[in-house]
Structure 1
């Protein structure tokens, strides 16, 4: 049987498992075992399963994962994000759209210390939605901006999704983090630009201007921002200047988060245990999925399917841009049925050989993939950010999805921009790690 047909059968088997409600990790392991037993032939699947899972789980690189998750959980559980929103609001009243820009900037800042899209969206939406509704802002734009800006939690480093990709694709976590910084700013600019244009075109839907706040009062309101900004700067500078590895930066981030929470008086025993349990649940879920993905990747390598697929794509003589366009469509379709981390671990082993043969840098492709995952976060029916906003606003899923649609297309524009101008992604990694 041809490798392409075998690939189709394995994909069908995986689809049946997932549609039947089997855990993603177990589905991946089962498909890997079937491939080893019936395609590779003669290779002890049990022994490979044990050594692969242990070898990929006992990784110093993966130690950064629970630490970055914990850092975000601490800030989320101790309500520090509420002070962050209030501190930003006075500085953005001069822009058309005023407090709508706080959604974007607050999500960008909180995303840089949480690493989670859903946590970023939920945290900022909890504060922003009541405030925006009370002041008469357009509810549809408020929901859309929160859905879109919430995705910044996985694009602006440190990001859990970036760590998962770096481990799955065997690339440097630090380089991936550095590569995500400028694209994150690009997406923020696109979102704010859309909000400005929308308000200029719809002045009747904008609330009346608020009275100007004295400069001294602005500084007082922003005092709570300083510790969080210092923590972000410490993590970024440590990565950029090579003072610490990603894992060490994550450890410092956890200590800094504890210090800020203690200093602000919000670190209670209940908040501490909630952060520990939240971190444990998320880490166990991701680690189990990564274990299943590592075994499936190994089994795919034994069968020769990735190389066969790469050769098949080569035989189509697609240009590099045509390949990226095809992958974009594929991932957008997958994003309607799978969450972001699952998309990455399910496809990395198959797609990476194609990307290498097309001449794309794996660090650049990681950021491309994260942007696609952002689209999945605002794509029905499984977009996590849509679920969060639907729950918090009480609106139906169609209303929230339509509100997020313009921001979905802005992410498509961001993908096009980094494809045409790849140096937006690569300039910081190449500055920190000059090509040999």
Structure 2
């Protein structure tokens, strides 16, 4: 196929995609439709059999078996008293820091991220618990909203992250190594958020309520008693993968069993909650799997059309350095983030972007963490930033007020992108140790 035909096919598919997305059709169906359109109009490939075999091959990927299990583990723990106990358990430990209980938002989102694996679920769960309490105590509204919006994005980074599993399948990278790669960047983001809260509090001491009376260590531990088993379960799940004792799928299975035991021990397990957790996990897993399967068809379609090769050649002709390529891709992802949610951005762009990144000599493992941080930023960009919608509904404030409160945390996420670009071993050191 000549370059002119390839460009015409790409433009036609892009225009059709924009029309379909604007119409409100499911992202998965939009991806499938433009794939079939491109194959039917511009190639002689057997469209039906190609589509069927590609969707079948993508549906039974071994890495994808961990997806519903991790989602189910999160759904089980989500229905326990974890959210209710989080504020009382974490609050006494951070009361001495500048910013006081605002740090509970960051730490609570970090803990919930390891349970839920989803940005919007993390944000909504912690906000439901923290907002009334912080408002009652007189904390600054902008910082309450901002810390929740920024920290909610940790659900994409801290393993076991659902989007990491999707990226691992799409980019053919080890999910276990991706989990390891996300640990230090996730902790770095939490440190950046907490550092900003402390700095802001020192600059505006009048906007922070007075410190609560000191609490004895025994009381702190007693208040944290329900959080400790959950933290140990998460550490055991991730630790078993890191130590090479279990694959992600095996670790997820043990995670589900542990979540069921904890739910039973805390009185949060019933036939109704079990059925609800199963149904919710099934719906989310089916949605993600359908998107991934349709994205696989798109990858085959653009491969037949030669679009990645043409774009990679164009990038090479522009003589962009890897750093400039990342700058351009960051801008493109942020624009996509104004209209799509995280997994859709990932699977929509992967067929074209991954070959370009490989041609530029960028490590795909590192690139996975980079793209997740950029997608985290996209969760905070109007008009369709999902975390903004969550907080708008929970606070009653307009979207621009919520966006304004989130701006410093968008800046911190951009700082994180710069840090992992300048110091890539933040991402790669744990996977290297795991391989060694």
TM-score (ref. length: structure 1): 0.97
Please identify, of 266-275 and 111-120, the stretch whose mean Cα deviation from structure 2 is larger.
266-275
Tell me if the contact between 1:76 and 1:119 (Cα under 8 Å) persists in the aligned partners.
Answer: no
Instruction: Give the aligned partner of residue 290 of structure 1.
Output: 292
Instruction: Give the aligned partner of residue 32 of structure 1.
Output: 35
CA distance in 1, matches of 2:409, 2:66: 30
Aligned: 1:326 with 2:328: yes
Superposition deviation, residue 5 in structure 1: 4.0
Q: 2:9 aligns with which of 6, 9, 12?
A: 6
Superposition deviation, residue 122 in structure 1: 1.0
CA distance in 1, matches of 2:5, 2:403: 41
Q: Secondary structure at the match of 1:267?
A: coil
CA distance in 2, matches of 1:81, 1:208: 25
Q: 1:300 aligns with which of 299, 302, 308?
A: 302
Deviations 1:96-150 (A, max 9, x none): 0010111101111110121111111111111110110011110110011001101
Tell me if the contact between 1:145 and 1:191 (Cα under 8 Å) persists in the aligned partners.
Answer: yes
State the superposition RMSD in angstroms: 1.1
CA distance in 1, matches of 2:61, 2:87: 37
Instruction: Give the aligned partner of residue 89 of structure 1.
Output: 91
CA distance in 2, matches of 1:409, 1:364: 21
Superposition deviation, residue 83 in structure 1: 1.3
Task: Name stretches of at least 5 consecutive residues in structure 2 with no aligned partner.
Answer: none
Instruction: Give the aligned partner of residue 383 of structure 1.
Output: 385
Instruction: Give the aligned partner of residue 134 of structure 1.
Output: 136
Instruction: Give the aligned partner of residue 368 of structure 1.
Output: 370
Instruction: Give the aligned partner of residue 215 of structure 1.
Output: 217
Q: 1:179 aligns with which of 157, 168, 181?
A: 181
CA distance in 1, matches of 2:257, 2:83: 17
Alignment of 1:187-202 (within 5 A): 187-202=189-204
Deviations 1:240-262 (A, max 9, x none): 11001111111111111111111
Deviations 1:192-214 (A, max 9, x none): 01101111111111111211112
Q: 1:339 aligns with which of 334, 337, 341?
A: 341
Superposition deviation, residue 361 in structure 1: 0.6
Superposition deviation, residue 268 in structure 1: 2.1
Q: 1:115 aligns with which of 105, 114, 117?
A: 117
Deviations 1:253-287 (A, max 9, x none): 11111111111111122221221121111111111
CA distance in 1, matches of 2:128, 2:26: 30
Deviations 1:151-185 (A, max 9, x none): 11110000011111111111111111110000001
Please identify, of 122-131 and 388-397, the stretch whose mean Cα deviation from structure 2 is larger.
388-397
Instruction: Give the aligned partner of residue 421 of structure 1.
Output: 423
Tell me if the contact between 1:77 and 1:274 (Cα under 8 Å) persists in the aligned partners.
Answer: no
Aligned length: 433
Task: Name stretches of at least 5 consecutive residues in structure 1 with no aligned partner.
Answer: none
CA distance in 2, matches of 1:345, 1:403: 29
Tell me if the contact between 1:80 and 1:261 (Cα under 8 Å) persists in the aligned partners.
Answer: no
Instruction: Give the aligned partner of residue 233 of structure 1.
Output: 235
Deviations 1:376-421 (A, max 9, x none): 1111111111111111112221111111111111101100110111
TM-score (ref. length: structure 2): 0.97
Q: Secondary structure at the match of 2:173?
A: coil
Superposition deviation, residue 14 in structure 1: 0.6
Q: Secondary structure at the match of 1:111?
A: helix
CA distance in 1, matches of 2:87, 2:119: 17
